[in-house]
Amino acid sequence: MRNAYERFVRPLLFSLDAEAAHHLAIALLRGASHVDPALRALQSFQPAPSPRTLFGLTFRNPVGLAAGLDKNGVALPAWDALGFGFIEIGTVTAQAQSGNRKPRIFRFPEQAALINRLGFNNDGADAIATRLQRLRASGRWPSVPVGINIGKSKNTRLEAAAEDYLYSFQKLHRFADYIALNVSSPNTPGLRSLQAGASLSILLQTIQAQNRTTKKPLVVKIAPDLSVDELEEIVATCEGNEVAALIATNTTLDHSSIPSATDEEGGLSGAPLCEKSTALIRQISARSTIPVIASGGIFDAQSARAKFEAGAKLLQIYTGYVYRGPGLLREIIDGA
């Protein structure tokens, strides 16, 4: 049975261009974040507490907001009010950047999917650090863990990637309960090469050298399009560099579920990604004790259960939230 969001709100949002609808939703949640009655209204969607503990943090429930929905960290109080167990903002880059040319988000309702080629559009680490400082000073900081997802600036050469990430880490770590390194977006040229053993090792060593005093849990977000050998190398590198968890997975370049006549370049998310992501979680869990945060194709309690059964400790949602709305959290937590 479809909920009120699916019957009334989604048709209105889907009547708009996908990116325009995204900006409208974020603007409304940003406004609500500064108005107490609006936050109290959003709290009606909160599921019952279902606490989880991972890498030293306690999560109100196991369902978090995936990076990408709130790239600039403008609506944290609203996400908290809606009931997320944790919130991940970003991807944030050292340099502010506008991202790729529009249009760059595409809906595929028949497949319950999205394709995006946004390209890390965000305000940059300096501006976002200032925004988060103001939020903390306002007394409206969320009651749940906040993760900050960081990535490479497009104009930074791959050889200088580690220093680019380090700049963002230095600017933002004091606001983060954990830091996620995005080395797997398909929309920044060459970024996925940073998943390779030597490059990933250099990146992790650079960040962890700085992290010895800050001691923030470091998480790595990986692609679903990995061979067995590539995955084994990534897992071994992460284990050797004290990574707290892996996020599995980012969007996929496998568009076989999308009719060729309507296909677009970019990363595919949503229901078609579900089994590919779940299969990768199984592979990681079979090879390692490193915790996994599942992301990809979580649309209901059944798909959430599949992630947990594969070995995931926490979940993150994005495209499922776009299609199913705020009732999805309660459905997952009550049924998973």
pLDDT, residue 2, reads 76
Q: State residue 126's pLDDT score.
A: 98
Q: What CATH number does the domain containing 21 carry?
A: 3.20.20.70
With a cut of 70, say whether residue 1 has pLDDT above it. Answer: no
Give the pLDDT score at 149. 99
Q: What does DSSP say about strands 52-54 and 57-59: parallel, antiparallel, or unpaired?
A: antiparallel
For the chain, percent of residues with pLDDT exceeding 90: 98
* Mean pLDDT of all residues belonging to the chain: 97
Instruction: Tell me what the mean pLDDT of segment 309-336 comes to.
Output: 97
Place of tokens 């009010």: 81
Instruction: State how many domains the chain has.
Output: 1
- pLDDT the model gives residue 336: 76
Q: What is the pLDDT of residues 171-204, one digit of tens each?
A: 999 999 999 999 999 999 999 999 998 999 999 9
Is the pLDDT at 87 greater than 90? The verdict is yes
pLDDT at 41: 97
- Long-range interactions of 191-199: CB distance < 8 A, separation 24+: 191/151, 191/152, 192/223, 193/158, 194/152, 194/158, 194/161, 195/222, 195/223, 195/226, 195/230, 195/234, 196/230, 196/233, 197/233, 197/234, 197/236, 197/237, 199/158, 199/161
CA distance 11 to 320: 15
289: cis peptide before it, omega within 30°? Answer: no
Angle at which helices 301-310 and 327-335 cross, to 10° = 50
Extract the tokens encoding 107.
């809906």
Question: Residue 177 sits in which domain range?
Answer: 4-335
Quote the pLDDT of residue 212.
Answer: 96
Q: Catalytic residue numbers?
A: 185
Residue 109, classed as helix, strand or coil, is helix
Consecutive H or E run containing 163: helix 161-172
pLDDT attached to residue 207: 98
Residues 6-60 have pLDDT tens digits of 999 999 999 999 999 999 999 999 999 999 999 999 999 999 999 999 999 999 9
Percentage of the chain modeled with pLDDT above 70: 100
pLDDT in tens, 214-231: 999 999 999 999 999 999
Cα 151 from Cα 120, distance rounded (Å): 8
pTM confidence score: 0.98
